[in-house]
Structure 1
Amino acid sequence: MRTTGKSLAAQLVSMIFLCMQLATPTAQADSDSEHIHHPQKAEWPSFGRDYSNQRFAPSTIINRQNVNQLAEAWRFKTGVVGSFQTTPIVANGVMYLSLPYNHVVALDARTGKELWRYEHQRRPEWKMCCGPANRGVAVAYGKVFMGTVDARLIALDARTGKLVWDIDAVDQAVETEGQASLDSKDPNSRAKVSGGTGIGIAMAPIVYKGKVLVGITGVGYGLHIDNPREDAPLGAVIGLAGRYGRPGFIAAFDVDSGKRVWQFDTISPEQWLGQFTVKTADGITLDRDVATEKAQARQHPDAWRYGGGSAWSTPALDTDLGLLYFGTGNPSPQMNDIERPGDNLYTVSLVALDIETGKLRWHYQQVPHDLWGYDLASPPVLFDWQHDGKTIPAVGQASKTGWFYAHDRATGRLLFKSDAFVPQKNLFHKASKEGTTLYPGILGGANWSPVALDAAAGQVYVAAIHAPITYTLHESIDADGKLLRYTSSEPAEEPRWGLLSAINLADGKITWQHKTAQPLVGGVLATAGGLVFTGEGNGNFAAYDSSNGRLLWQAKADAGVNAPAISYEIDGIQYIAVAAGGNAIFGYKQGDSVLVYALGK
């Protein structure tokens, strides 16, 4: 009996231990998810700080009254010069940074001392679509997760930087357009090219309950022609007809193994053509020849296979509804529709998916049959909308067309569209042989820059671009009598500038605007100290009064500040951190610095 008793006791202990082991992943999943959903003041644990993507810091140590005392606390030189778009992640006193070309460093968030460095070995044969920039990592489960320019998803040990796993997010590269398709007499056939269609990952992943969520980009990018001046914006983007690209997607991967859990393709074979609508969902008439498009549909039944729809922006998550929200890119071929008739679903759309399965719940297409490059590039943001005494969970998105859209999170119903936060002209007019100038155009509006939202103040802050763009239709006949046709978009010879706007969430009216000398790309940080931070391509990094837009403080970096700032606290000190590495597409000086500020002594 004694032996049997010991055996039963041993079995009981084993069963308890096994149950604890089985429960650990769920407990860890719940713990990590809760940590990101309700972060501590000391940390910035995810791209948008929490799942709402509000980029709002609750710290008040730095405020309107003392921000003029802000001084550089430390700086870190990465040694990698290139377009620098990262959002630093701060967890457990460590700052994690993704660098251009997907190198990663971990720093002591108090001092900037380097703790470890991961050197990414990029596949040399893989064509980068969109330059070397990466928008950040995700940190959870003792790992650092990052998508790469060569379309891989990797996991590193958060303590050491050692590679844990490395998987291919896509199975193969795609066919890309080239200058050989242009008439030999065309100057663009001999110009230097800086990018084209090609699969990569730009967004910062997010982690939720054991899954890493990330999407691919570049699948409908177009051919990019360099400007001969390094300090000038991109010269031209060319939309060539052809079978280039593929459908984009967003997918969930297991945090432990990298195994794909689910995938949502941004192009729907069944819904690709849509309803051939002649108006946008908010009632604006489109310049479309529906009869011709329907005839073309019979000639190009498989156009959806090359449909584009990149997933540029880090999703927002509603853990109560079990939904994630993200924006999709333009259809492929970019700006050229002769081989892609229809509405081209689900491109240029805000999309809501079931978090657990990746199944579509709803979508809202801002621009059907997009001909201008009006990707939904800025990350969505969650907030509660107060209307007629009711609280409606809402999701907002700052568009490249120049409006901030707000939707019912559960259904996608449009709640309101803001006043235009940038000038608009010839919106949705087609390219012409003589050239049609419109704005916002391909650069935006609100480009990839994330907004910041102060729920207590009832305002969202948008960094935006005024950049007139000329769209030109090019046609010629080659030696074989074949019609060569493409559309180009290039900066017009008109003034450009930036606009930082505060938009009232109650009615969509603009509360205030601050005009900057250069277009704004990089993003916004808001704090409970009544401040809004953003940077400029000329190196200015500034703090504004969130109530009226008045400039309160400004520092100068030696490269463009074209990344979003963050805030964190350690040992009773509030820090503001931002990457200063410029942006090649906009012609902003590139560099390799991370700048961290705190109140001076």
Structure 2
Amino acid sequence: MGTQGKSYSRVVVVLAMLALPVAVAQTEQELLNPPASEWPTYGRNLEMHRYSPLSQINTLNVTRLRMVWSRSLGFRTDAQFSPVVYRGIMYIPAPDRVIALNATNGELVWEYKVKLHEKTGSLAASRNRGAVVVFDGKVYHTLGDGRVVALDARTGKEVWSTQVGKIEFGEGFTSGPIFAGGKIVVGPSGADIGGVNGRVVALDPQNGRILWTFNTIPQPGEPGFETWDPPTAAQWGGGSAWNVGAYDPVTRTVIYGVGQPIPWVAKDFRRGDNLYTASWVALDVDTGKLKWHYMVIPNDEWDLDQIATPTITDMRIDGQTRRVALLPTTTGFLLLFDIRSGQMIKWYQMVPEVTIHKGFTPDGKPIIDDTFRYQQAGEKKLVCAFRWVDWEPAAFSPQTGLYYRPNTYDCANLKNDPPPADWRPGQNPINAEFEYLTDRFNRYGALSAIDPVTGRVVWEFGYGYRNFNGPVVTAGGVVFSGFMDRVFRAFNARTGEVLWQQVMPAYMQTDAITYMVEGKQYVAVIAGGAGTFFPHRQTGLPAPVEGEVTAFVFALP
């Protein structure tokens, strides 16, 4: 266990917090089945449903929503995260801090802030996805410079700090932790720059000790290493678990998506399938051993990593109830996998055009058009879809049976030149230029309500910007989501009718939540940011409006 950075941490505590019902204890059962009032982790439950059983705000009264408080958070990074709430306290993450607020009025309870290491990678220093985990009186967070920290939920004081990311290679975190089987599980980010391989890591929540590590790029002697040719290519880097995974407590399985190999262009540098990049991996939570995997793009050279957060649920399919993982691919498909067997049950093409990844064979293998592989410098390839999904989470309602999926009809002309012949790990492995074809279809981004049993889109709200906003769906029959056009909207969960909307001062690419304190239901969303990550839009639309990252909370009068 490391302690690097402790001397740089700063905690500001507001004494008024002593009157608040702050979290002092919490059991694993409360994370497995959270009380209706709470939102203690990224997906609210560990299966990542983003479903709330609250119904005080519903389709009949949502038009009466009013803002009850807002608070500027004092930074302007690419906010791509979800707040969480437990026992009346809202916890908000950033690459270098955690902010605790009174969830009823926005007053500061405490702020934990650190100075990031000077070698922190630019991506990890400028964005944070996912959320903190609140468990056993502690708040668990991942910092941009590769530290995992546990904070006292009452005071914000650091309990332990473990250096997981290899900071000498700029490896840190762009996404938060998950709780799984009594462990804190994380996926370091930044293997794009080379020199370090991706992995999934489990830590002891009491002391930060690393319990197991799964290498997403196998090392010598590990299964899958033989899929790298030459063998040295498996030590160059790549394969970050860039985003938040999910946990199935029924089968005790952790599922993470894995990023692309490097360098991006394979010719003259790497051959073979290159496991487990551009794949999904299902791990035994007790040992970290691989249960099963599925590779979407063998030998990826188009940055088609598979990093969207899975959703896990029981589903009635062909007369049989099965434990299913919903896995959305960047390439435009929704996959249904049996978690126990690792077998593909169904797949659906969700985009109007595919080029490189054409679909699947009857036995579930991906069909890749190898004519799109790069042979000469200066070539352009039409990549459709490039990012149907990215980091943004979906929501799933057991009430409607629908899967509410943020997505983008994203095609791009990709010029991807090979690195120089003397390229070495640690040097820039990316030599790409993108021309985004934002007007190729009649909409760009959307929130789509999908029946996962049939693949049918029941309703859809489309518009001219990308959609990176995670929704929340409630027992009140309402879906809440922010959008890049500055509008926070509430939809009828069954029909898609827009029931209420509020123009915000800046764009949103964060995840809405809802919670209850002292019998009153609130809805929260974060707006603002630096506007630097994929701000593309259709022709004629204004640029996204930037602004200091600010929390906004609404309730009925």
Match of 1:586 in 2: 534
| 1:189-204 equivalent positions in 2, closer than 5 A | 198-204=170-176
Match of 1:471 in 2: 414
Match of 1:212 in 2: 184
1: CA distance, partners of 2:469 / 2:396: 15
Match of 1:530 in 2: 477
Match of 1:597 in 2: 554
Match of 2:364 in 1: none
2: CA distance, partners of 1:445 / 1:476: 27
1:517–1:493 distance in 2 versus 1, CA, 3 Å: closer
2: CA distance, partners of 1:437 / 1:529: 43
- Do the aligned partners of 1:82 and 1:132 also contact (CA within 8 Å) in 2? yes
Cα distance, 1:103 vs. partner?
A: 1.3
CA offset digits 1:431-462 (Å, max 9, x no partner)? 57352222221xx1111010100123121011
2: CA distance, partners of 1:253 / 1:93: 27
1: CA distance, partners of 2:551 / 2:44: 18
Specify which of 518, 530, 543 is matched with residue 465 of structure 2.
518
1: CA distance, partners of 2:453 / 2:324: 12
Cα distance, 1:404 vs. partner?
A: 1.3
Match of 1:95 in 2: 90
Match of 1:379 in 2: 309
User: Which amino acid letter does the alignment assign opposite residue 152 of structure 1?
Assistant: R
1:436–1:258 distance in 2 versus 1, CA, 3 Å: same
Match of 1:105 in 2: 99
| 1:35-434 equivalent positions in 2, closer than 5 A | 35-99=30-94, 101-135=95-129, 136-174=131-169, 198-220=170-192, 244-269=194-219, 270-272=222-224, 297=229, 300-421=230-351, 423-425=353-355, 427=357, 429-431=372-374, 433-434=378-379
- Do the aligned partners of 2:191 and 2:197 also contact (CA within 8 Å) in 1? yes
Match of 2:439 in 1: 495
2: CA distance, partners of 1:544 / 1:38: 26
1: CA distance, partners of 2:166 / 2:299: 28
CA offset digits 1:115-153 (Å, max 9, x no partner)? 111111211233334442112211112111111111111
- Do the aligned partners of 2:394 and 2:403 also contact (CA within 8 Å) in 1? yes
Match of 1:239 in 2: none
Specify which of 420, 434, 438 is matched with residue 383 of structure 2.
438
Match of 2:399 in 1: 456
TM-score between both structures, scaled by the size of structure 1: 0.78
2: CA distance, partners of 1:474 / 1:355: 40
Cα distance, 1:334 vs. partner?
A: 2.6
Gaps of 5+ in 1: 1-27, 175-197, 222-243, 276-293
1:45–1:485 distance in 2 versus 1, CA, 3 Å: closer
2: CA distance, partners of 1:338 / 1:552: 55
Match of 2:6 in 1: none
1:412–1:72 distance in 2 versus 1, CA, 3 Å: same
Cα distance, 1:579 vs. partner?
A: 1.1
- Do the aligned partners of 2:72 and 2:549 also contact (CA within 8 Å) in 1? yes
CA offset digits 1:146-169 (Å, max 9, x no partner)? 111111111111111111112210
Tell me which structure has the larger Cα radius of gyration.
Answer: 1
2: CA distance, partners of 1:590 / 1:344: 41
CA offset digits 1:7-65 (Å, max 9, x no partner)? xxxxxxxxxxxxxxxxxxxxx9x962210111111110111101110101111111122
- Do the aligned partners of 2:119 and 2:168 also contact (CA within 8 Å) in 1? no
User: Which amino acid letter does the alignment assign opposite residue 330 of structure 2?
Assistant: K
Cα distance, 1:248 vs. partner?
A: 0.6
CA offset digits 1:81-109 (Å, max 9, x no partner)? 1111221111111111113x321111111
2: CA distance, partners of 1:111 / 1:348: 43
User: Which amino acid letter does the alignment assign opposite residue 41 of structure 1?
Assistant: A
User: Which amino acid letter does the alignment assign opposite residue 336 of structure 2?
Assistant: A
- Do the aligned partners of 1:32 and 1:209 also contact (CA within 8 Å) in 2? no
1:61–1:131 distance in 2 versus 1, CA, 3 Å: same
User: Which amino acid letter does the alignment assign opposite residue 253 of structure 2?
Assistant: L
1: CA distance, partners of 2:511 / 2:119: 31
1: CA distance, partners of 2:419 / 2:199: 35
Gaps of 5+ in 2: 1-22, 358-368, 423-427, 536-543
What RMSD, in angstroms, separates the aligned Cα atoms of the two structures? 2.5
SS of equivalent residue, structure 2 residue 79: coil
- Do the aligned partners of 2:330 and 2:388 also contact (CA within 8 Å) in 1? yes
1: CA distance, partners of 2:190 / 2:209: 23
* Percent of residue pairs identical: 31
Cα distance, 1:422 vs. partner?
A: 5.8
2: CA distance, partners of 1:576 / 1:172: 37
Cα distance, 1:272 vs. partner?
A: 4.2
2: CA distance, partners of 1:567 / 1:63: 12
- Do the aligned partners of 1:253 and 1:261 also contact (CA within 8 Å) in 2? yes
1: CA distance, partners of 2:265 / 2:406: 25
User: Which amino acid letter does the alignment assign opposite residue 124 of structure 1?
Assistant: E
2: CA distance, partners of 1:434 / 1:345: 26
User: Which amino acid letter does the alignment assign opposite residue 384 of structure 1?
Assistant: D
User: Which amino acid letter does the alignment assign opposite residue 434 of structure 2?
Assistant: E
CA offset digits 1:504-563 (Å, max 9, x no partner)? 122222222221120101212111122222222221111122212222211112221100
Match of 2:515 in 1: 568
1:370–1:78 distance in 2 versus 1, CA, 3 Å: same
CA offset digits 1:215-253 (Å, max 9, x no partner)? 1012026xxxxxxxxxxxxxxxxxxxxxx2321111111
2: CA distance, partners of 1:130 / 1:335: 24
2: CA distance, partners of 1:502 / 1:402: 15
- Do the aligned partners of 1:49 and 1:55 also contact (CA within 8 Å) in 2? yes
2: CA distance, partners of 1:365 / 1:412: 12
2: CA distance, partners of 1:533 / 1:67: 10
2: CA distance, partners of 1:209 / 1:413: 23
User: Which amino acid letter does the alignment assign opposite residue 183 of structure 2?
Assistant: K
SS of equivalent residue, structure 2 residue 315: strand
Cα distance, 1:388 vs. partner?
A: 2.6
- Do the aligned partners of 1:466 and 1:498 also contact (CA within 8 Å) in 2? yes
Cα distance, 1:477 vs. partner?
A: 9.0
TM-score between both structures, scaled by the size of structure 2: 0.84
CA offset digits 1:456-479 (Å, max 9, x no partner)? 312101111123211124479999
User: Which amino acid letter does the alignment assign opposite residue 465 of structure 1?
Assistant: T
User: Which amino acid letter does the alignment assign opposite residue 264 of structure 1?
Assistant: F
